[in-house]
Every structure is written in structure tokens, then in C-alpha cells.
């Protein structure tokens, strides 16, 4: 519908608030010009960037390795120019994850997330560009082997 707007209700990554988000959306009024959406949804990563103050983070700035454990994956993220003293950087990484795989999948399909500088890459690990993460997450749901 032309002129329709989206209203996203986020739990801001707080898993204990997920049921509240689901209830809010379930009981939201049906409005002609608004679509009420639960959780931050995946976005096209081709031009995605997260900016906070003078810092910009894109999917190209992050690579990852992972291990599958009990139907979830544990992530090791390697961020270019990571300053582990800067809380804004961590916030930006999590916002980027929410945008790449969706807020719901970040909480429900990922076990642990460890964030490192790209200088800490271990040569023996199999490293992937962050743009491959949605495929890996989706393969968990389809009961196929995660590569």
C-alpha cells in the first residue's frame, strides 16, 4: 500500500523481553497505513553501515569463525580497527548483527559471541566474511549441515 509505514518493536536484544514484544505485536491494532513488525529484521547487506558519532562499521569490516553447539552457533568476530576499550564499538557490532541476521535470530540461534580485533585472527581457524552469516544461520533451521 502506498504511504504505508513500518513500526518496529524491538526488545533491544534483551531476551527476557521477547515475549512482551510478541504480545505487543499480537494485540496491536490493525492500522491501514502502518505495519507493526516484531524485532529488528534482516536487511540487505550490500549498502549496510552502522554509524555512531564519527565511527562507521560495515559488514566488510568484520570476519568470523564459528562452532556449532547444541543447535546454535558460537561466534568469534574479528573486527577491523577494534578498540576493545570503546563500548560504542561493541554496541555497533551488535546493531550490525541485528541488521544482518535479525534481532530474533541473534538471540535464539547464536550461543556465544566473542569479539576480537582482526589482529587476533588465528590462522588455523576457518574464517568467513560476515556476509556469509545469514546462510549459516538459515542452515541451522533447515537441518542441513553447517559449513
Q: How far apart are CA 93 and CA 121, in angstroms?
A: 17
At 24, phi and psi to the nearest 5? Answer: -60, -45
Is pLDDT of 142 > 90?
A: no
Q: How far apart are CA 110 and CA 66, in angstroms?
A: 10
pLDDT tens profile 49-92: 999 988 899 999 999 999 999 889 999 999 998 888 888 999 99
What ranges do the domains of the chain cover? 5-38, 50-141
Amino acid at each position: 500500500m502506498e504511504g504505508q509505514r513500518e513500526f518496529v518493536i524491538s526488545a533491544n536484544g534483551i531476551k527476557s523481553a521477547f515475549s512482551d514484544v510478541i504480545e505487543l505485536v499480537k494485540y496491536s491494532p490493525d492500522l491501514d497505513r502502518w505495519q507493526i513488525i516484531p524485532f529488528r529484521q534482516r536487511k540487505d547487506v550490500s549498502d549496510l553501515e552502522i554509524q555512531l558519532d564519527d565511527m562507521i562499521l560495515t559488514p566488510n569490516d568484520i570476519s568470523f569463525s564459528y562452532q556449532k553447539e547444541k543447535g546454535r552457533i558460537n561466534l568469534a568476530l574479528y573486527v577491523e580497527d577494534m578498540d576493545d576499550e570503546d563500548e560504542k564499538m561493541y554496541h555497533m557490532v551488535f546493531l550490525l548483527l541485528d541488521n544482518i541476521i535479525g534481532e530474533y535470530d541473534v538471540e535464539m540461534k547464536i550461543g556465544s559471541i566473542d569479539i576480537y580485533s582482526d589482529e587476533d585472527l588465528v590462522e588455523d581457524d576457518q574464517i568467513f566474511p560476515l556476509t556469509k552469516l545469514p546462510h549459516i544461520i538459515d542452515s541451522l533451521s533447515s537441518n542441513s549441515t553447517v559449513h
